Chains A and B, each alone.
Chain A
Amino acid sequence: DTAVSQTPKYLVTQMGNDKSIKCEQNLGHDTMYWYKQDSKKFLKIMFSYNNKELIINETVPNRFSPKSPDKAHLNLHINSLELGDSAVYFCASSQSGQVWVFGPGTRLTVL
């Protein structure tokens, strides 16, 4: 069973479109995260949710909106996509700040 799963794995879209990425974890962890990895491989935290509540919202444009329908799911919706949004987006989960488990990533390409 996959611990942290994301869909889709690849996303290619035009500038200005709206898209969503879904994430699910079956580890029973209490906190979920979104990270962005750019072309230089830097991993930057975007959001953190604990038990469906937003804990951290780093300096991310408000075109990005996370939604957590329940403890096991954290989705990321992006409005009005821009070229600079092209990156790999990783979902992750952890329990009380212990091991962070990452999903396989979603490679977003904005044309």
Chain B
Amino acid sequence: QQPVQSPQAVILREGEDAVINCSSSKALYSVHWYRQKHGEAPVFLMILLKGGEQKGHEKISASFNEKKQQSSLYLTASQLSYSGTYFCGTEKNTDKLIFGTGTRLQVFP
């Protein structure tokens, strides 16, 4: 079952914040976050393991609540370079990564 992301799309001005949510109907081993720019391959942002940990990458951070089977990606003080489609990826085991439905983020000057 594919994880569901919300919102489907976000439009921001530079400097604004955004939150992208990822929700799964199945128990999760870990959650990955990737960003894909138009015409390019998905690029790894971060991985979160069980334990409710938070991680940060520049001004992008994420949390993982395994009891709720949810993860959220937080983008603060957005930059033009943050534009792209964000995917969460969930693992039940290490053999496959199931990607979420995607959230398209556009940052304007």
Contact = CB atoms under 8 A, between A and B. Distances in A.
Given A42-B102, A98-B47, A99-B47, A105 B41 contact: yes
A96 B41 contact: no
Given A42-B101, A48-B96, A101 B44 contact: yes
Interface residues of B, number: 25
Interface size class of A (residues with CB under 8 A): 20 to 34
A20 to B, nearest CB: 20
A41 B102 contact: yes
A107 B96 CA distance: 22
A50 B95 contact: yes
Contacts of A96: 94
Interface of B: 2, 30, 32, 34, 36, 40-44, 47, 85, 87, 89, 91, 93-99, 101-102, 104
Interface of A: 31, 33, 35, 41-45, 48, 50, 55-56, 90, 94, 96-105
